Amino acid sequence: MKKFIIFSFILISFLSCDNDPTPPLPPTVTTGDVTNIGNSSASISVSSSEYNPKEIGVLYGTTPTVTLANAHKVQTSSYNNIAYLAGLSASTVYYYKAYATNGTDYTYGATSSFFTTNSTAKVVTGTGSSTGYYSTYYHFSLNTYAWGLDQISEWGNQVSSTALFTNSAIYSVSVANYVEGTAYSQGWQTKYTGIEYYRAYAKLKSGIYIYGEIKSVNVTY
């Protein structure tokens, strides 16, 4: 009887250990380049050794030592993605680094920095509406506003089927024929119904891009 009890205890212990999975190691992560630096926004690329990590993104702040405790965190959603930073202060140095986690432990990329601009130019994303179906296309219109045209070389709307704007089309507006601060309506067309994401954009004469708020329009018939 004692032998049976001892054997049962060993067997249960073995099965308990076997069913106690060890969390996977967090993936290695690389801090990429920063682009589209504006007065209050920037875009930072992130890459990981794992195709679909549990969580990946960017930590950023105004102190050279960037940690989970003192930094802002922007999470991205997939492998080799872009982190979109917003609400930044103009003419400010920001420090940033990539991070990834398996849910328990974190790994980090190298720390880098960038300097936000101080331009008075801005664009505002207006309303969008579905306007009907004709000539084999679904049509919709977008309104856009811009200020500081003396600092802008190009502006208009950017439209994409995803909120990350990984596959987007750009339609620019003639700066010469626009009255600053007024609504400019653009007509768009697509072969598909559904949600289209859009935002105003402008290319400054310095070569930097700035963006308005991301909005969406439900293209229907």
DSSP codes of every residue in 164-177? T-SSEEEEEE-GGG
The pLDDT value given to residue 8: 46
Single-letter amino acid code for the residue at 3: K
Task: Reply yes or no on whether the pLDDT at 168 is more than 90.
Answer: no
Read off the pLDDT band of 64 (50, 70, 90): very high
The pLDDT value given to residue 51: 64
CATH pick for 122-219 out of 2.60.40.150, 1.20.140.10, 2.30.30.240, 2.60.120.10: 2.60.40.150
**Closest residue by Cα to residue 60 from 89, 39, 103:** 89
215-219/152-160 β-pairing: unpaired
Lowest model confidence (mean pLDDT) among 6-20, 41-55, 71-85, 133-147 = 6-20
Task: Reply yes or no on whether the pLDDT at 113 is more than 60.
Answer: yes
Quickly tell me which residue has 């992560």 as its tokens. 29
The answer to whether 29-115 and 122-219 have equal CATH topology is yes
Read off the pLDDT band of 112 (50, 70, 90): very high
73, 57 Cβ separation under 8 angstroms: yes
Task: Reply yes or no on whether the pLDDT at 117 is more than 90.
Answer: no
What is 29-115's CATH number? 2.60.40.10
Give residue limits of the domains in the chain: 29-115, 122-219
Average pLDDT for 76-81: 63
**Closest residue by Cα to residue 160 from 174, 142, 178, 185:** 142
Percent of the chain with pLDDT over 90: 19
31, 112 Cβ separation under 8 angstroms: yes
197-213 in b/e form (b: 16+ CB < 10 A) is bbbbbbbbeeebbbbbe
The pLDDT value given to residue 220: 81
Both tokens assigned to 174:
């003639």
The pLDDT value given to residue 71: 94
Task: Reply yes or no on whether the pLDDT at 132 is more than 50.
Answer: yes
Read off the pLDDT band of 91 (50, 70, 90): confident
The pLDDT value given to residue 4: 44
Higher pLDDT among residues 7 and 176, named by residue: 176
Read off the pLDDT band of 6 (50, 70, 90): very low
Higher pLDDT among residues 79 and 130, named by residue: 130
